[in-house]
Structure 1
Amino acid sequence: MTQVHYEDLGHGITMIDAQLYRQGQVSTYLVVEGDRAAFIETGTAHSVPAMLAVLEEKGIPRENVDFVIPTHVHLDHAGGAGELMRHLPNARMVIHPRGARHMIDPEKLNASAANVYGEEEKERMFGTVVPVPAERVTEAGEGDELDFNGRRLRFMDTPGHAKHHFCVVDEGGDGIFTGDTFGLSYREFDTERGPFVLPTTTPVQFDPEALHHSVDRLADQGLSYMYLTHYSRVGDIARLREDMHRLIDVYVDMAWAHADEGEARHDALCEDMMQVLIERLREHGCKLPEARMRELLVPDVDLNVQGLEVWLDKQTQES
């Protein structure tokens, strides 16, 4: 069996480490209801062997997987979808209407990633995004539902992180598969207070007002858990909701404070965001050395700042 870390969470849900960046950073989920299965999130093309290995270990035939459901088309969530579908003959992909065309024809996704990372590094990190045949794609928008072998999966349109983002409400799992909408929460930061959460504002569609609204809508569903892509399941929803709102506002204020700093802006924003998060982690009771905190946070801080800068530039152009 392919070496893979996974954890059974109850309710027929298994969290599978997507083996992207590092262990403990990206989750995919296998949901089983009776003799049928579905995957929510896919990681990248390099994540597929681990996902198939968990199916095999659990004795679930590939023919019994009915759905592959990425929350949005960013490559750490949907990059492996086409490759995974090649191994699941009866599965349909369910995707946000704004993302469907990119799964059917992923040329722009591949080109964009190659432009950001370079072709060689893009292949190393993500592999190639494989097209999904249009006849195997189902679009799901606000309020749409799937009958998953008698288990209801309901879709919520949740912009703020990306316009092509939905979340999947699973009352059978007493929770919601949130993609990036309810933020990031790494298990290394857990303390006696519980999980620590931070918003993700990666390029290019961060919208703070929409994200505030989406966070509230998720929390207002009244379920016990959020199944995060980054990383695994969290509870304590009321506290995390407030932490998300506070940090979204801190990020926005920080962006405006550095708006006129030109070439120095990115580095200044990165250091300010890092300091804020380290301070919040200390208040949360995290005992990790600062060097380890920085190591864990650096990739997200850099991407978050890039997204804030895109948002900030749009605001200044429109004003």
Structure 2
Amino acid sequence: MDNVTPLGGDVYEIDTRMAGYSGITAGYLILGDRPCLVETGTSTSAPVVRDALASLGVGPDDLATVVVTHIHLDHAGGVGDIAGFYPSAEIVVHEKGARHLADPARLMASAKMVWGDKLDTLFGTLAPTDAARIRALGDVGTVDLGNGRALSSHYSPGHAKHHVGLLDSLTGDLYVGDAAGVYLPETGDLRPASPPPDFDLEVALRSIELFGALGPQRLLFSHYGPVDDVPATLERSAEELRVWVDLTKQARAEGLDLDHAVAMVRDRTRERYAALQTDTATAERFELLSGAQSNVGGIMHWLDRSGT
């Protein structure tokens, strides 16, 4: 299938075709002894993911585990649907996100407030998952991939309080979710992901530091794809966060409201990203991946909360 890319080590990148776009959200299939799907994508992407798994020989009774890095709808909105397609699969999530997968009502209401009429188009509806099938991870945990291979889970908040990074013992791949930001492979751009309500700069920087200390061989971004140059990429992740926070602080000090702060930060960061100098479609996709409104809003919320 044209939305499946082999990455080596029995790992396959799946373009979940979020909202019909290519290159927005990736899921990853680890096709070992106990097949494991990392990230489901949105609810509306679930049939796309199912077809991709079928093309790789994974049928309804073959998938052992579904793991999500966190419960935001672009990563976990399809969990309920995927759980229905694969009745034998265990669903693994950090303990701070588990209850929302079992009862998504609050999560969906919150998403509706943020996204309004765009919610259905972008994400669809997260269906509930039987609580008995959900395994809640503590700050560290393990997912058995079979034949001695495992994913180790590492609590990595800052982007979201229910976020984990996942390290593959065989390949050294680290699934970074959104904790290292958003990567655009066509241009090599990296931009932060600092949405409300959980963003916290110091916590986010500690998570990036933790990722470096784990010594991964490769970073697998949910948005989007594999990156081999690990130290430089993590350094850039931290730098991007600091730049956006410093500029948002300036805007706040000048008494700008959110809309004017977003405009200022967008303007002053524009030169950092090749994607914004290229065609309109690439620029629009980059903004959907890492929206200035969401990023600045999250930083403002953190500044207000922390009294910084």
TM-score (normalizing by structure 2): 0.92
* Structure 1 Cα separation of the partners of residues 207 and 175 of structure 2: 13
Question: Aligned match of 2:145 in 135, 144, 148?
Answer: 148
Question: Aligned match of 1:169 in 164, 167, 170?
Answer: 167
* 3-state SS of paired residue (1:52): helix
What residue in structure 1 maps to residue 47 of structure 2?
49
* Structure 1 Cα separation of the partners of residues 281 and 269 of structure 2: 13
Question: Aligned match of 1:256 in 246, 249, 252?
Answer: 249
Q: Does 1:281 align with 2:273?
A: yes
Aligned AA for 1:278? Answer: R
CA contact (8 A) 1:203 1:310 kept: yes
Give the share of equivalent positions with the same residue, in percent: 30
* Structure 1 Cα separation of the partners of residues 101 and 18 of structure 2: 20
| 1:1-319 equivalent positions in 2, closer than 5 A | 5-21=3-19, 22-34=21-33, 36-118=34-116, 120-150=117-147, 151-190=149-188, 196-261=189-254, 264-281=256-273, 288-289=277-278, 294-299=283-288, 300-316=291-307
CA contact (8 A) 1:177 1:228 kept: yes
CA contact (8 A) 2:276 2:282 kept: no
* 3-state SS of paired residue (1:185): strand
Aligned AA for 1:26? Answer: T
**Which deviates more from structure 2 when the two are superposed, residues 300-309 or residues 101-110?**
300-309
TM-score (normalizing by structure 1): 0.89
* 3-state SS of paired residue (2:45): helix
* 3-state SS of paired residue (1:218): helix
| Per-residue deviation, 1:290 | 7.3
Give the 3 Å change call, closer, same or farther, for CA 198–94 of structure 1 in structure 2: same
Give the 3 Å change call, closer, same or farther, for CA 106–239 of structure 1 in structure 2: same
* 3-state SS of paired residue (2:272): helix
> CA offsets, 1:256-307, max 9 Å, x none?
1111455x4323332333334432235xxx7943756643433322211121
* Structure 2 Cα separation of the partners of residues 107 and 205 of structure 1: 19
* Structure 2 Cα separation of the partners of residues 67 and 142 of structure 1: 19
**Which deviates more from structure 2 when the two are superposed, residues 15-24 or residues 198-207?**
15-24
Aligned AA for 1:52? Answer: R
| Per-residue deviation, 1:182 | 1.2
* Structure 2 Cα separation of the partners of residues 27 and 155 of structure 1: 19
* Structure 1 Cα separation of the partners of residues 91 and 268 of structure 2: 39
CA contact (8 A) 1:48 1:80 kept: yes
| Per-residue deviation, 1:13 | 0.9
Aligned AA for 1:87? Answer: F
CA contact (8 A) 1:19 1:46 kept: no
What residue in structure 2 maps to residue 193 of structure 1?
none
* Structure 2 Cα separation of the partners of residues 133 and 292 of structure 1: 39
**Which deviates more from structure 2 when the two are superposed, residues 75-84 or residues 248-257?**
248-257
> CA offsets, 1:43-62, max 9 Å, x none?
11111111111121122222
What's the RMSD between the two structures over aligned residues? 2.0
| Per-residue deviation, 1:211 | 0.8
> CA offsets, 1:76-100, max 9 Å, x none?
1111101110010110100000000
* Structure 2 Cα separation of the partners of residues 287 and 78 of structure 1: 28
* Structure 1 Cα separation of the partners of residues 2 and 305 of structure 2: 41
| Per-residue deviation, 1:227 | 0.7
* 3-state SS of paired residue (1:122): helix
Q: Aligned pairs, how many?
A: 304
Listed as ranges, the gaps of 5+ residues in structure 2 are none
